[in-house]
């Protein structure tokens, strides 16, 4: 078990969300519920990270009411009341959130965009290899392999 904690957003991540609807918390999303239960079973400190309890956007009493609703929702759907917060701190190890872009540390690069670029490159190379066996392909095999090596080196800079 690591020392820090893992944040999990509520609306749209752990619970279905289709708009505020008087603040009612949506149905649990099975995939994320299973993920959280796995993390808890592994001894991880999992906390609900949600703006619902922010006093910057609502009154203290409303934030307190939201916190109680979330605790009840957690007990009902996760079996335990998780801590609820709206603030990161240095011990937050990870965050699951439907509004986040993961950035590869110290690069400014979007991890999803890098993964997509790599997948597209692999698909492109795969299709070219398939085309090699097409009778209409005229590029010599050795030349194509050399070109792919150059492309790989150029794309290595993506990461
Ligand atoms: Mg959300």
Q: Which two structure tokens, joined as six digits, stand for 47?
A: 């906390």
Whole-number Å distance, alpha carbon 98 to ligand 1 midpoint, is 5
pLDDT band (50, 70, 90) for residue 101: very high
Residues of the chain by 3-state class (helix, strand, coil), percent to 5? 45, 15, 35
Contact between 20 and 30 under an 8 Å Cβ cutoff? The reply is: no
Residue 130 pLDDT more than 90? no
Q: H-helix or E-strand containing 129?
A: helix 111-132
Its pTM stands at: 0.78
Whole-number Å distance, alpha carbon 95 to ligand 1 midpoint, is 11
Architecture of domain 5-100: 3-Layer(aba) Sandwich (3.40)
pLDDT band (50, 70, 90) for residue 149: confident
């Amino acid at each position: 078990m690591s020392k820090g904690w893992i944040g999990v957003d509520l609306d749209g991540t752990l619970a279905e969300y289709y708009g505020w609807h008087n603040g009612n918390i949506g149905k649990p999303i099975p995939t994320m519920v299973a993920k959280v239960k796995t993390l808890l079973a592994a001894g991880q400190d999992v906390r609900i990270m949600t703006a619902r309890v922010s006093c910057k956007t609502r009154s203290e009493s409303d934030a307190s009411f939201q916190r109680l609703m979330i605790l009840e929702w957690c007990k009902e759907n996760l079996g335990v009341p998780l801590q609820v917060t709206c603030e990161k701190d240095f011990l937050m190890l990870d965050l699951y959130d439907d509004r986040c872009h993961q950035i590869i540390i110290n690069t400014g690069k979007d991890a999803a965009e890098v993964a997509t670029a790599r997948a597209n490159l692999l698909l492109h190379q795969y299709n070219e290899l398939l085309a090699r066996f097409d009778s209409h392909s005229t590029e010599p095999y050795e030349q194509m392999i050399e070109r792919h090596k150059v492309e790989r080196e150029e794309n290595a800079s993506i990461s």
